């Protein structure tokens, strides 16, 4: 089912000119599948970079986001914040979805983790039994939220940023403004490409996209 959905989405992108796919009949789906797997294609240039994949998940699943309670981190410098804030009596971080405490479902690999590099998580499903559980969870970085989350509110005096009035992080005002401008530029580029998908992005537009992807990739690199 996932393979068929992938081929369907790939075909839709090809129809509007975003990518190129070989023309084969529906009985030869394996050929399209192999084509999509080919790492030499431009659309796969970042397919092996987990920060990019996680950022895409953030963009696709937002606003399904939970955060460690009372987090007080600097965006992009969130190494092991769970060691200091938001602990429950069971010595695991307390997660909140903006309204109440939530828990990572026991079947999730993240349920066995006690320390997280970043205090933000996206999820696919939320189910309520004895507790409210999150399923299919992925830890995301503050940068992913700043680029692909909701509206950004910058508090210049306190040096903090709020995403959609509920997700808070500390970051210098200049950095927050830069993210806001880059996000507006990216939105403008995407709108233009959607209107004229078969036209190539300009050099300036490619530089904006490259800058954003490089910021996301660099954030996951070990800090010296």
Average pLDDT, the chain: 84
Lowest model confidence (mean pLDDT) among 61-75, 100-114, 181-195: 61-75
**Inside any domain, residue 182:** no
Nearest to 46 by CA among 212, 201, 200: 212
Sequence-distant (≥ 6) Cβ neighbours of residue 124 within 8 angstroms: 61, 64, 135, 136, 137
**Inside any domain, residue 94:** yes
Given 85, 106, 140, the domain boundary residue is: 140
Contact of 111 with 104, CB cutoff 8 Å: yes
71 and 105 part of one domain? yes
Given 140, 167, 182, the domain boundary residue is: 140
75 and 125 part of one domain? yes
**Inside any domain, residue 191:** no
71 and 102 part of one domain? yes
Q: How confident is the model at residue 224 (pLDDT cuts 50, 70, 90)?
A: low
Rounded to whole angstroms, the Cα distance separating 27 from 48 reads 29
Rounded to whole angstroms, the Cα distance separating 190 from 29 reads 29
Given 120, 140, 160, the domain boundary residue is: 140
Contact of 98 with 195, CB cutoff 8 Å: no
- Please tell me the predicted confidence (pLDDT) of residue 134: 97
65 and 124 part of one domain? yes
Give the percent of the chain with pLDDT over 90.
50
The DSSP letter of residue 43 is: G
Per-residue pLDDT averaged across 7-20, rounded?
85
Sequence-distant (≥ 6) Cβ neighbours of residue 84 within 8 angstroms: none
Contact of 163 with 149, CB cutoff 8 Å: yes
91 and 22 part of one domain? no
Parent domain of 92: 55-140
- Please tell me the predicted confidence (pLDDT) of residue 83: 35
Rounded to whole angstroms, the Cα distance separating 125 from 61 reads 10
- Please tell me the predicted confidence (pLDDT) of residue 75: 41
131 and 72 part of one domain? yes
Compute how many other C-beta atoms are within 10 angstroms of the C-beta atom of residue 53.
Answer: 14
88 pLDDT more than 60: no
Per-residue pLDDT averaged across 85-100, rounded?
73
21 and 71 part of one domain? no
Length, in residues, of the chain: 224
72 pLDDT more than 90: no
Tally of structural domains, the chain? 2
**Inside any domain, residue 184:** no
pTM: 0.83
Phi and psi of 95, rounded to 5°?
Answer: -105, 140
10 and 65 part of one domain? no
**Inside any domain, residue 195:** no
73 and 129 part of one domain? yes
Q: How confident is the model at residue 111 (pLDDT cuts 50, 70, 90)?
A: very high
Residue with tokens 């680029």: 147
**Inside any domain, residue 60:** yes
- Please tell me the predicted confidence (pLDDT) of residue 62: 96
Per-residue pLDDT averaged across 33-38, rounded?
88
More confident residue, 186 or 86: 186
**Inside any domain, residue 175:** no
């Amino acid at each position: 089912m996932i393979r068929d959905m992938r081929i369907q989405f790939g075909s839709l992108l090809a129809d509007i000119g975003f990518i190129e796919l070989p023309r084969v009949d529906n009985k030869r789906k394996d050929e399209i599948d192999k084509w999509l797997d080919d790492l030499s294609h431009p659309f796969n240039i970042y397919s092996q970079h987990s920060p990019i994949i996680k950022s895409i998940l953030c963009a696709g699943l937002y606003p399904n986001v939970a955060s460690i309670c009372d987090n007080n981190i600097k965006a992009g410098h969130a190494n092991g914040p769970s060691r200091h804030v938001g602990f429950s009596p069971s010595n695991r971080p307390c997660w909140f979805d903006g309204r109440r405490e939530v828990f990572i479902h026991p079947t999730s690999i993240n349920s066995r983790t006690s320390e997280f590099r970043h205090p933000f998580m996206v999820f696919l499903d939320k189910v309520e039994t004895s507790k409210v559980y999150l399923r299919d969870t992925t830890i995301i970085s503050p940068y992913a939220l700043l680029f692909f989350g909701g509206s950004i509110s910058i508090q210049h005096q306190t040096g903090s940023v709020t995403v959609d009035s509920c997700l808070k992080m500390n970051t210098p005002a200049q950095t927050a403004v830069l993210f806001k401008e880059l996000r507006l530029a990216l939105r403008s580029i995407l709108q233009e490409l959607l209107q004229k998908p078969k036209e190539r992005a300009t050099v300036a537009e490619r530089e904006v996209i490259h800058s954003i992807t490089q910021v996301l990739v660099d954030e996951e690199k070990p800090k010296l």
